[in-house]
Chains A and B, each alone.
Chain A
């Protein structure tokens, strides 16, 4: 199957700083990318959907000014957690889909810990 690479796998940052997470589709063009957040023992919660070259569409309750998403190319989307706080600590996962394909491929996730 297609490969989606997420970087970094884990990150620890100080409260008040910003963190950027990258999501790359390695062998296909991802016209649509999705960002999720997952807390321990819970399911994945969709945060936003981004289409290449367009502004991201955020799910209800997700602060777009706090979670900045950029999908500037067909192989790269980034999620920036701005002014991170301990409650933002979570497992962040991206997925990508190629236009016309019914299957979404997931990255390996990024464990964010804010101290």
Chain B
């Protein structure tokens, strides 16, 4: 299973764009990249998933370079409610074990 490395924490202000980068140097050909958000005392919530290039949904964008050894989660115009821990996961689609890394603790200030 590919290991992921993320910054331990990040601070931002309301209205700013936040980019969280995850390194996954050992990503395999079949691996997808998935990001989850977790609030205290809640289960993780799916944010976005991608395989290559760029993926965008209503809450975030995911940028994946051609070598796929890293990925960047982009949260446009964050609000206080985006304060949470963000996890980057890498694994084979369709049946992989979801192994969590340490995650990035994002703190959004007013």
Residues in A lying within 8 Å of B, measured CB to CB: 1, 4, 6, 32, 34, 36, 43-46, 49, 91, 93-95, 97, 99-109, 111
| Nearest Cβ on chain B to A111's Cβ, whole angstroms | 7
Contact of A49 among B97, B100, B102 (CB under 8 A): B97
B65 CB–A CB distance under 8 Å: no
| Nearest Cβ on chain B to A47's Cβ, whole angstroms | 11
Contact of B43 among A1, A45, A93 (CB under 8 A): A93
Chain A binding surface SS class: strand
- Report the bound CA distance from A102 to B51 in whole Å: 11
- Report the bound CA distance from A100 to B102 in whole Å: 27
B76 CB–A CB distance under 8 Å: no
- Report the bound CA distance from A6 to B94 in whole Å: 22
Residues of B within 8 A of A108 (CB): 42-43
Question: What are 27 of the A-B contact pairs (CB < 8 Å)?
Answer: A1-B46, A32-B95, A34-B98, A43-B87, A43-B100, A43-B101, A43-B103, A44-B87, A46-B99, A49-B97, A91-B41, A93-B44, A95-B44, A97-B95, A99-B94, A101-B93, A102-B32, A102-B34, A102-B93, A102-B94, A103-B49, A104-B98, A105-B46, A107-B43, A108-B42, A108-B43, A111-B41
